[in-house]
Amino acid sequence: MRRLILLLVPAALFAGQPRYARLGDFDGLAEVQLEAAEPWMPAERNLPLAESAWLRTGTQSRLEIELDEGSAWRLGPDSQGALADYTRLATGQRVTLLWLDRGLAYFTGEPEGRDALTLAVPGAQIIFTRGARVRLEVQETWSRISVLEGVVRFSSPAAEIDLREGQTTRVEPANPARFFLDREIPPLELDRWSEDRDKALAAPVSAIHVLERYGLADLDAAGEWIQTGDLGAVWKPKSQDGWIPYRNGRWRWYGSLGYTWVSDEPWGWLPYHYGRWTRKDKLGWVWAPSSATVFKPGEVYWLRGGNLAGWGPLAPGEEWNGSEMPAEYLNSNTTFAAWSADARLIDPAGFTGRPKEPLRAAAFTLALPSPAFPAARLEATRPMVASGRAQVMPAVTGASFDTAEAPQSPSPPAPPAPVQVTVVAPAAPAPAAALAPQDPPVVVNPLSVVLLTPPAQSSGKAAGPAVSSAASTTTPPPPASTDRASGRHGPPPEQPKANSPGKRFRNGELELYREVQKSFDAGDFAAALSSLDNWSAHFPRTEFQGEREFQYVQAYDGTGQAAKVLEMAGTVMAEGIDARLPDPRQALTMLYLASLNVQKIPRPNRAQIETGQQAARELLRRLPEFFGPGSRPANTTEAQWHKLRQDLETVANTALAAGERHRAAR
């Protein structure tokens, strides 16, 4: 047990606070699947929604979800969507990726600070960099994105452009090489519903008194704020005599929270998860908001005895140890329900076994025992977000996503098909460039390679590309020039001088080295790996050991051997990366590949996690100097140079966040 506690300490110290969205207003038949291994259940107002929760609506239904930063996501009839990513990093950044699988959805929101906010549909995605309102539609053969207000960044396998207010784009996942752009938004019947909901949630008075940004409008409608001498501003619900908090609702089991209160009261979100209740003379029950922004399952005292459980509210500021009499304890303040071992739902509705003398029938306890962990959850998985080949990447420096990557072929991919842009307009069609001359469509090739030119070595060609991404889908963007013959992007390899300072090839070694180079130039990483093995077999010791290890990392990356990349990178870092790779470009590239490949291993072991995180931290440490003043290559634009740094930071931050998640799961 002590060893387990020690393993969990880093997760508690470094992981960000979990995030929970609120299932708010809904009409008709709506269902929720909280975990991949759980059955679908009827929607409940005020149900907490964690990352990976799925939701769906019936043919005459609709629902609204409120996110913790104040955004609102709404599903129309016959729709299905998911909180694909919904996390908070150790840096405080919030990462949100919402996925619409089918049907109709609306979203209103704005990322705060360095938060990353993305919506995805089959074949495309949009990234928010400022406040906007959008409508998403997904049918069997097409997906459509309409910008009702603001500007968003649109990405698909064919293009990346800014979509502005009043514009609509349609993509066909089966034909990713084209998309359609319309200068008008066809109105839908539900547009007015979403707009009315936006108005209802706007500018709540309760925002003056509460730190949280969701569930506020319900407080305005259902109660009043009263100033007190000891607790400051408290909220009093419009309740009837005899009303008790934590009585109208039920406890649902969440693996990350324990038993969590789901209130039947329409306003029952903030008062049960962000503060405590107390009974004051003349005022009755009032809620005192918390000064912290930590989501709580429900702060109550517990009683357990035989086949029943009881609970009641803890007072503001009370530190209850589970044995003393709680400050608010009274028989009348305590709610009871039937309870049994492994119960995942505790519902007081209809319970008739209330004891006349509770303290004889039950004893105080800090918490109820947890239900058995379902083994099916260990193997349960969610389908990957299918937004085409576009990357699910934040547009804000430092924010990151933990993405699973599909295996790639070691051979270079075929060039992307030409982009086909169809402009749809009610009048005579205009050229695509005329619609938004400042933002022309840009071809996005996810297998672009940035070439960080390696140092001069010996006669023959320079070492292979410093960043090789034939097996990578998360890659930095290409600099301006393109080598059409090889398909590589970036400046051509620098021709090496006769000898690297202080280093010489031994007799027969140069020919083996040239075989390695020939394979890299052809983009054949499997052949490069074979040639490297041949070189190592004939010359186990070489003055070019660091360069050879660097080429091994490239070859392992190119052939999709993520574990081997980390093993070799770990060896180099243990020996001293600057001693092995004195050229900063090679060192930076190896750190990048190690940070990238640790994310490709579904369940990395402890050594792999440590190597990936060490590489990520070192990569972030080196970036300011590498991208310092005067370091940009002449044939690379300022925007491309900035984007390269941004993407390297993203890969490093993703590796750090993923490592902490894996540590917490071990």
Give the strands of the sheet with 335-338, arranged side by side: 335-338, 308-313, 300-305, 363-365
Relative orientation angle of helices 562-575 and 545-558, to the nearest 10 degrees? 160
Res 62 pLDDT > 50: yes
Q: What is the CA radius of gyration of the chain?
A: 29
CATH of 18-201, picked from 3.30.70.100, 2.60.120.1440, 3.40.50.720, 3.30.9.10, is 2.60.120.1440
Mean pLDDT in residue range 56-64? 96
Q: What is the CB-side half-sphere exposure of residue 624 using CA atoms within 13 A?
A: 2
Specify which residues 286 forms β-bridges with: 278
User: What is the distance between the alpha carbons of residues 70 and 64, in angstroms, rounded to a whole number?
Assistant: 12
More confident residue, 10 or 24: 24
Alpha helices in 439-521 (DSSP H): 509-521
pLDDT digits (tens, 9 = 90+) for 391-416: 444 444 443 333 333 333 333 334 34
Confidence band for 6, pLDDT divided at 50, 70 and 90: very low
Q: State the amino acid at position 596 in one-letter form.
A: L
pLDDT digits (tens, 9 = 90+) for 307-337: 999 999 999 999 999 988 999 999 999 999 9
Res 89 pLDDT > 80: yes
Residue with tokens 């292979």: 464
The percent of residues above 70 in pLDDT, for the chain, comes to 79
User: What is the distance between the alpha carbons of residues 43 and 248, in angstroms, rounded to a whole number?
Assistant: 16
Res 380 pLDDT > 60: yes
Residues 6+ apart with CB under 8 A from 530: 519
Closest CA to 171 of 108, 128, 105, 125: 125
Mean pLDDT rounded to a whole number for the chain: 80
Whether this model's pTM surpasses 0.75: no
- What pLDDT score was predicted for residue 499? 39
- How far lies 79's CA from each of 106, 172, 381, in Å? 11, 18, 21
- How far lies 159's CA from each of 100, 415, 419, 441, 445, in Å? 20, 15, 7, 5, 9
Res 270 pLDDT > 80: yes
Confidence band for 240, pLDDT divided at 50, 70 and 90: confident
Contact 462, 500 (CB under 8 A): no
The percent of residues above 90 in pLDDT, for the chain, comes to 48
Confidence band for 167, pLDDT divided at 50, 70 and 90: very high
- What pLDDT score was predicted for residue 388? 63
DSSP character string of 594-631: HHHHGGG-SS--HHHHHHHHHHHHHHHHHHHHHT-TT-
Torsion (CA) 190, 191, 196, 202 in degrees, nearest 10 = 130
- What pLDDT score was predicted for residue 417? 43
- What pLDDT score was predicted for residue 404? 39
Res 222 pLDDT > 50: yes
Report the range of poorest mean pLDDT among 168-172, 220-224, 413-417, 459-463: 459-463
Res 218 pLDDT > 80: yes
Mean pLDDT in residue range 455-480? 34
Residue with tokens 């539900």: 190
- What pLDDT score was predicted for residue 291? 87
- What pLDDT score was predicted for residue 502? 63
- What pLDDT score was predicted for residue 666? 61
Res 102 pLDDT > 50: yes
Host H or E run for residue 70: none
Res 662 pLDDT > 80: no
More confident residue, 663 or 287: 287
Res 636 pLDDT > 60: yes
pLDDT digits (tens, 9 = 90+) for 420-448: 545 444 433 333 333 333 333 332 222 23
> SS3 of 195, please?
helix
pLDDT digits (tens, 9 = 90+) for 534-552: 888 888 888 888 889 999 9
Mean pLDDT in residue range 105-110? 96
Residues 6+ apart with CB under 8 A from 154: 124, 125, 126, 145, 160, 161, 162, 163, 169
Residue with tokens 């752009």: 181
Confidence band for 351, pLDDT divided at 50, 70 and 90: very high
Contact 174, 436 (CB under 8 A): no
- What pLDDT score was predicted for residue 446? 28
Closest CA to 395 of 71, 125, 89, 14: 125
User: What is the distance between the alpha carbons of residues 425 and 437, in angstroms, rounded to a whole number?
Assistant: 16
Res 83 pLDDT > 60: yes
Classify residue 633 by burial, with Cβ atoms within 10 Å: 0-12, 13-18, 19+. middle
Host H or E run for residue 179: strand 178-182
Host H or E run for residue 71: none
Confidence band for 603, pLDDT divided at 50, 70 and 90: confident
Mean pLDDT in residue range 268-272? 97
Res 480 pLDDT > 60: no
Domain residue extents for the chain: 18-201, 215-365, 446-665
258-263 and 21-27 strand pairing: unpaired
Mean pLDDT in residue range 283-287? 94
Q: State the amino acid at position 80 in one-letter form.
A: Q
Confidence band for 226, pLDDT divided at 50, 70 and 90: very high
Confidence band for 630, pLDDT divided at 50, 70 and 90: confident
Contact 107, 74 (CB under 8 A): yes
- How far lies 653's CA from each of 157, 231, 656, in Å? 24, 40, 5
Buried (b) or exposed (e) across 14-25, using 16+ Cβ within 10 A?
bbbebbbbbbbb
Mean pLDDT in residue range 256-275? 96
Q: Which two tokens stand for residue 373?
A: 């962990």
Closest CA to 326 of 386, 390, 383, 276: 276
Closest CA to 501 of 455, 437, 464, 556: 455
Give phi and psi for 3, each to the nearest 5.
-65, -40
Q: What distance separates the 2 farthest-apart alpha carbons in the chain?
A: 97
Q: What are the percentages of helix, strand and coil residues in the chain, rounded to 5?
A: 25, 25, 50
User: What is the distance between the alpha carbons of residues 422 and 416, in angstroms, rounded to a whole number?
Assistant: 18
Mean pLDDT in residue range 479-496? 32
User: What is the distance between the alpha carbons of residues 264 and 259, in angstroms, rounded to a whole number?
Assistant: 16
Confidence band for 287, pLDDT divided at 50, 70 and 90: very high
More confident residue, 364 or 603: 364
Confidence band for 383, pLDDT divided at 50, 70 and 90: confident
Q: Which CATH architecture has domain 446-665?
A: Alpha Horseshoe (1.25)
- What pLDDT score was predicted for residue 541? 86
Q: State the amino acid at position 638 in one-letter form.
A: E
- What pLDDT score was predicted for residue 665? 66
Closest CA to 367 of 519, 253, 490: 253
Confidence band for 510, pLDDT divided at 50, 70 and 90: confident
Res 1 pLDDT > 50: no
Confidence band for 153, pLDDT divided at 50, 70 and 90: very high
